[in-house]
Amino acid sequence: MAALRARRTLPKLADAGAPLLVVEDLRTYFKLEGATVKAVDGISFRLDDGESLGIVGESGCGKTTAALSLIRLLPANAWVAGGSVRLYGIDLMTKTEETIRRYRWREISLVFQGAMNALNPVQRIEDQIAEPIVERLGKEHDEAVARAGDLLELVGIPRARGRAYPHQLSGGMRQRAMIAMALACDPAIVIGDEPTTALDVMVQAQILSLLERLRRELGLSLILITHDLSVVAETCDRVLVMYAGRVAEEGPVERVFAAPRHPYTRLLMGAFPDIASGRRTLEVIPGTPPDLRNPPPGCRFAPRCPAAMDICREMVPPEVRFDDGVRVACHLLPPGSPGSVLATDGADTGSMASAAARPAAAGTQDGQVRSSAEGSR
């Protein structure tokens, strides 16, 4: 399979020593009926080469918006209001639309929910996969079709089926074809936004194991957005728990799932069926996520949090990093909590060093101007 991995050439301006992807304080807002929806409001994370990051959180918490912001594939009423997205050290947010287009598919590609229905019904599968290879990589048509055949085989579709039109393939096969298309230009990062939601359970499992295999064999880095925590537990290295446009908790999957620290992570896990434990009653998280046109001040989870204190309703909790690589934004775990590590300015102190390095800054959002020292009790 290694032959399929076209030799990765870094973009011209790449810093070879920089991490693959570093997102810092990303903010993406929508204009909606005169109001501003703060769908993504200051999220930071890092993705290293070959790593897979799961993004979880209830519906409407900004997962898709965050993913689309990375390659600025946003609806017309949305804009990136701040922050940076650095790919190999190159800040994509400062790029023009024309330049960023060169990075889509070529560096970061996206497989979205129901993507299989986005295939062109009147074009043969192999030609659709060949198209970006011709357009983005400048290959001849015949060579591109040959590579499309290789990619189809890679995702488990016989090469000859490439002659088929989309309606002649099953849903699972079409989603595989979309994955082949996402791989066409040999991107560094593939984002799967609920890539299996529209499929039956067996096919879901097959597609997920396909993604996992591709990651291993091609050395891909993966961002997987899903509601299925067990999928994250099985396939991801790190997990980012989003709530109402912000990061509640982020860290290595085994650490976060074994000992969730944010009350939201705990409740989210309690709301998920755990077949192994045979538990039948699921805990429901009372209430609903806030209206992001007018989110509550302080911690956005406070109105639903069983452990909320007065400070939670007043001040945005700073993100505190722990020595096991987990980052948590919760007033129950203020800076200086056991196991937390002091802020440093090092960019190489594990994922999210930068966010953890600025707890005071995180605590001054939404006009809640206070120092982190005041915030810690």
Q: Are 87 and 100 within 8 A, CB to CB?
A: no
Residue that is written with structure tokens 């509601």 in the block: 227
Residue 62 interface partner, choices ligand ATP, Mg ion, none, CB cut-off 5-8 Å depending on type: ligand ATP
Q: Which does 59 bind (CB under 5 to 8 A by kind): Mg ion, ligand ATP, none?
A: ligand ATP
> How many separate helices (H) and strands (E) can be counted in the chain?
12, 12
Tokens of 60: 């409407």
The nearer residue to ligand ATP, 27 or 331, going by C-beta atoms, is: 27
Q: What is the dihedral of CA 110, 111, 112, 118, to 10 degrees?
A: 110
Positions that interact with ligand ATP (CB under 6 A): 30, 32, 37, 39, 57, 59-65, 75, 77, 292
For residue 236, give the 3-state DSSP assignment: coil
Q: 123 CB contacts (<8 Å, ≥6 apart)?
A: 165
Taking the complex as a whole, the smallest distance from the CB of residue 64 to ligand ATP amounts, in Å, to 3
CB of 183 to ligand ATP, least distance (A): 23
Interface mask toward Mg ion for 31-70; x: CB under 5 A: ---------------------------------x------
Q: Which is nearer to Mg ion, 64 or 265 (CB)?
A: 64
CB of 243 to Mg ion, least distance (A): 14
Answer with the entry of ligand ATP, Mg ion, none that 251 interacts with (C-beta below 5 to 8 A by kind).
none
Q: Which is nearer to ligand ATP, 166 or 295 (CB)?
A: 295
The span from the CA of 209 to the CA of 191, in Å, is 15
Residue 326 and residue 255 in contact, taking contact as beta carbons nearer than 8 Å: yes
Q: How far is the CB of 223 from Mg ion (least distance, A)?
A: 12
Whole-angstrom distance between the N-terminal and C-terminal Cα of the chain?
55
CB closer to ligand ATP out of 77 and 120: 77
In the complex, minimum distance from the CB of residue 39 to ligand ATP, in angstroms, rounded to a whole number: 3
Identify any residues that bridge with 21 across adjacent strands, giving them in sequence order.
47, 87
Tokens, residue 259 = 């000992």
Residues that bind Mg ion (CB under 5 A): 64
